[in-house]
């Protein structure tokens, strides 16, 4: 059996009906291109979210008010008003706490922020000077909130670049004023861009002194959260336990399952985000895989039509001594050539589409070599599986009946 001759003959046969061959290949191209592009999109989204979470700060722990009973101090965050400034002071000064180096009490609320010419709905965060250290905030211009601003309840604000663009366009916002809940504040600084979207957008924030937020803007005496910076990644669990048991003692709670607060580590958030985006990627891949299946069925239909059209040719070849193995191999080669060609074009298409998506969405360009290899192998396997039945049907034709076929 001369495989090279069979391949050349198969290529010649496929070239006879270019339109039909192109349509058969198109299904595989779309299927493989979709698998690669959607897996890339999912992994790119996962990487972007992880990067944004890491940009919130290193060795970060966050204490939130409220908890759903999980039988441990490390519960799931809920709503509540159980954290106070005194809790943050106790964590900072208690000799029981040996693993925390910086404590940042915070109060945040999403409100409308206005100027004389514009307005935006954004996150307003009441913070102290410790916020910049814990969350790794750097300044593009001006200064961040200082301890004297907090002590004096100064009406000052530091804004993110997104807020600066929304409220002041291309003009420098330093020294200009904005209004929050009827109170006028002066802009003293603009933070450097960190990027992000939605609730993770660190550029769409207004920082004001914590005392100003609590007593003059929102009229509250509790905290939304307390951010903590641990000494190093190795003591994160110890830090969670130390802070957890201190707060249990302060809140007169003996059983950790009754905790009215929750403590998240940065790794907890990363794990949750990774699990969510991983499920999202799997779902997208499953949807794309369906198009591969459809493409394989399309190739089988094309090959069945080809068998019908070439019935007399097959009968003549068998009458001249061609064995069943030769006929089967030729039709299998034709099917594999279709999926192989579609696989190559599909891989190129998937890479190009992935790159374009990353450029247009400003997200990282992530390409999984495993997904490319798997998609390509699957395309060849589809060629064998869906090409086998038409090939067997062709080889089983009786020469006399095939020659009589009209």
End-to-end CA distance of the chain: 30
Residue 336's pLDDT is what?
A: 78
- List CB contacts of 45: < 8 A, sequence separation 6 or more: 277, 280, 281, 363
Whether the model clears a pTM of 0.75, i.e. scores above it, the answer is no
In DSSP terms, which residues pair with 177 in a beta bridge?
186
Would you state the structure tokens that stand for residue 139, as one six-digit string?
Answer: 């300044």
**CB-neighbour burial class of residue 95 (10 A; exposed 0-12, middle 13-18, buried 19+):** exposed
Weakly modelled stretches of the chain, pLDDT under 70: 1-3, 5-6, 9-14, 50-58, 67-80, 195-200, 267-274, 288, 291-292, 295, 303-304, 306-315, 317-318, 320, 322, 383, 390-391, 394, 397, 399-406
Residue 71's pLDDT is what?
A: 39
Would you state the structure tokens that stand for residue 142, as one six-digit string?
Answer: 């001006």
Name the percent of the chain lying above pLDDT 90: 32
Q: Are 239 and 230 in contact (CB under 8 A)?
A: yes
Q: What is the pLDDT of residues 108-129, one digit of tens each?
A: 999 999 998 899 999 999 999 9
The DSSP output letter for 318 is H
CB atoms within 10 A of CB 325: 10
The Cα 86–Cα 84 span in angstroms is 5
The DSSP output letter for 136 is T
Output the CA angle 24-26-31, nearest 5 degrees: 110
**Cα–Cα distances in Å, from 335 out to 88, 278, 323?**
69, 34, 19
Q: What is the pLDDT of residues 176-197, one digit of tens each?
A: 999 999 999 999 999 998 866 5
Residue 55's pLDDT is what?
A: 61
DSSP 50-61: HHHHHTT-SSEE
Residue 73's pLDDT is what?
A: 45
Q: Where are the domains of the chain?
A: 3-52+277-404, 83-250
Would you state the structure tokens that stand for residue 15, as one six-digit string?
Answer: 């070239």
The Cα 229–Cα 101 span in angstroms is 6
């Amino acid at each position: 059996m001369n495989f090279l001759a069979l391949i050349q003959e198969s290529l010649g046969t496929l070239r006879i009906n270019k339109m039909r061959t192109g349509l058969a290949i198109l299904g595989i191209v779309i299927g493989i291109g979709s698998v690669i592009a959607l897996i890339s999109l999912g992994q790119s989204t996962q990487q972007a979210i992880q990067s944004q979470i890491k940009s919130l700060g290193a060795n970060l722990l966050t204490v939130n008010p409220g908890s759903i009973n999980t039988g441990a101090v490390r519960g799931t965050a809920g709503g509540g008003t159980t954290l106070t400034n005194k809790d943050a002071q106790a964590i900072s000064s208690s000799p029981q706490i040996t693993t925390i180096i910086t404590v940042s009490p915070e109060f945040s609320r999403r409100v409308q922020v206005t100027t004389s010419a514009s307005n935006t709905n954004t996150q307003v965060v009441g913070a102290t000077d410790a916020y910049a250290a814990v969350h790794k905030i750097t300044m593009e211009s001006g200064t961040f909130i200082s301890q004297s601003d907090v002590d004096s309840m100064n009406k000052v604000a530091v804004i993110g670049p997104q807020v600066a663009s929304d409220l002041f366009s291309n003009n420098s916002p330093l020294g200009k004023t904005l209004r929050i809940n009827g109170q006028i504040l002066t802009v003293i600084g603009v933070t450097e861009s960190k990027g992000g979207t939605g609730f993770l957008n660190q550029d769409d924030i207004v920082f004001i002194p914590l005392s100003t937020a609590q007593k003059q803007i929102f009229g509250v005496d509790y905290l939304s959260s307390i951010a903590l910076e641990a000494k190093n990644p190795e003591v994160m669990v110890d830090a969670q336990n130390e802070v957890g048991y201190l707060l249990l003692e302060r809140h007169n709670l003996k059983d950790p399952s009754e905790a009215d607060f929750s403590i998240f580590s940065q790794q907890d958030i990363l794990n949750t985000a990774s699990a969510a985006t991983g499920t999202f990627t799997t779902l997208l891949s499953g949807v794309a895989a369906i198009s591969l299946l459809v493409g394989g069925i399309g190739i089988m239909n094309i090959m069945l039509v080809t068998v019908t059209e070439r019935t007399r040719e097959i009968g003549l070849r068998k009458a001249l001594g061609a064995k069943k193995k030769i006929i089967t191999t030729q039709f299998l080669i034709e099917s594999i050539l279709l999926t192989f060609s579609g696989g190559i074009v599909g891989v190129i298409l998937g890479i190009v589409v992935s790159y374009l998506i990353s450029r247009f969405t400003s997200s990282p360009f992530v390409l999984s070599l495993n997904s490319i290899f798997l998609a390509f192998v699957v395309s060849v396997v589809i060629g064998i599986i869906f090409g086998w039945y038409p090939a067997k049907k062709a080889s089983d034709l009786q020469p006399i009946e095939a020659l009589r076929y009209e």
